[in-house]
Amino acid sequence: MPEIPSSDVDLYTEEARIDPYEIYADLRRLGPVVHLSRYDLYALSRYDDVRGALSDWQTFSSARGVFVDPEVNARLEGITLCSDPPEHTAMRSVLGRPLRPERIREVTPRIEAEAAQVVERLVERGRFEVVTELAEYLPMTVVSDLVGLGDHGQAKMLEWAAAIWNTQGPADERAAAAGPAVEEFMDYAATTAVPGRIDPDGWAAQLYAAADRGELPRDKCPMMMLDYVTPSLDTTILAITNAIALFAEYPDQWRLLCEDRSLIPHAINESLRLESPVPQFSRVLTEDHEISGVPLPSGSRVALLYASANRDDRHYPDPDRFDITRRPSDHLAFGRGEHVCVGLHLARLEMTALLERLADRVTRFEVQHRRPLINNGLRGLDRLEVAVRTSP
């Protein structure tokens, strides 16, 4: 029986949160399954293994949580992200209603108009801060308005969402510091963001309406409301920021995109592949199972390292290069299978709208300052100041 390599590498140091790619490359070299001794997790770091796990929910279950810390996993059991069919199917079908492509088409004109305005305003100035001034704009205006939580909820959303993400790693200092904001968010979801106090036409209110029709248990609604807030903001904000940072670093790729707008969907995929905002989730084996010839016992928690799989040279030649002609539509930055990101059409729409308008005006981005985000569940930049050169 092959021995499983073990590593005491820490994926949660500040350095590893900023740049995990060397660690990922080491894990991929060590073997298809590596035991991470600090967290008693079995890391899957190669593309085929991660994709295989995502395509087999019966064996790789989400129902015992998809995070690292056992306490957080126990607490969040049963939310959409942390459930298996048939319970998951019922919740996801209600949650996903306003996010279906035909509903996203209805909000497209509004998002495109807002994108045009914000880009025009910022480009006129010649330099701006990408995270707060560009990338946060659509998620914080249009998306939070569609969720319909009102002013107090909107003002706190980013702080609450970042706190929840910070609890998705081990029970370290970052997670402890996030505790009070997480409690505040949970309390807000249960007591304030309830019918009568939220926009009756918003997505959150539609969850309660579905519960009233008997489509879901009503006590699931507060946690499902969190599903519209936690995964929808920072992920998209990071994805937009990461894309701009990559285009600043690779001006030839920006020129290509400006010359041929049909490359925009591929550029979005390529930037998500190379800089995946959600580096990992986990699953628990429901039975003894072999992964690329390595047997693991039932009950093992496996970490699916999406951000590593997306840079696996077994699947993507020259994986560290940003190449928008690569067309990597099979990347795993949105996950895959039963839990594939339910908001991906919305995220793509927001990114497309901004890139289209930027391509009308900007010929080159130049980075003035960048600061990495340090968060246990997310990866990317916290600040990115750019100067832009514009077409005459």
Q: Which residue has the tokens 């009568």?
A: 196
Closer CB to ligand HEM, 323 or 338, in the complex: 338
For residues 136 and 195, give the distance between their C-alpha atoms in angstroms, rounded to a whole number.
Answer: 27
Reduced to 3 states, what is the DSSP secondary structure of residue 345? helix
CB 17 to ligand HEM: min, Å = 16
d(CA 359, CA 340) in angstroms, rounded, equals 29
Q: Pick between residue 92 and residue 220 the one whose CB is nearest to ligand HEM.
A: 92
Asked if 209 contacts 141 with a C-beta cutoff of 8 angstroms, the reply is: no
Q: Rounded to the nearest 5°, which phi and psi values hold at 16?
A: -70, -30
Nearer to ligand HEM, 28 or 331 (CB): 331
Cβ 79 to ligand HEM shortest distance, Å: 8
Closest approach, Cβ 39 to ligand HEM, in A, equals 18
Q: Which is nearer to ligand HEM, 253 or 269 (CB)?
A: 269
Interatomic CA distance for residues 124 and 216, integer angstroms? 48
Provide, rounded to whole angstroms, the least separation between the CB of residue 240 and ligand HEM.
8
Closer of 99 and 294 to ligand HEM (Cβ): 99
Please say which residue, 185 or 334, places its beta carbon nearer to ligand HEM: 334
User: Which positions lie near ligand HEM, rule CB under 6 A?
Assistant: 62, 66, 80-81, 92, 95, 99, 227-228, 231-232, 235-236, 239, 277-278, 281, 306, 333-335, 339, 341-343, 346-347
At residue 81, what is the residue type?
L
Which residue sits closest to ligand HEM, CB atoms considered?
A: 343
Neighbours of 364 (CB within 10 A): 16
* Alpha helix ranges (H) inside 126-250: 137-138, 144-147, 150-166, 173-191, 203-212, 221-229, 234-249
Shortest approach of ligand HEM to residue 230 CB, angstroms?
Answer: 8
Order of strands across the sheet with 301-304? 6-7, 33-36, 41-44, 301-304, 281-285, 60-61
Q: Shortest approach of ligand HEM to residue 306 CB, angstroms?
A: 6
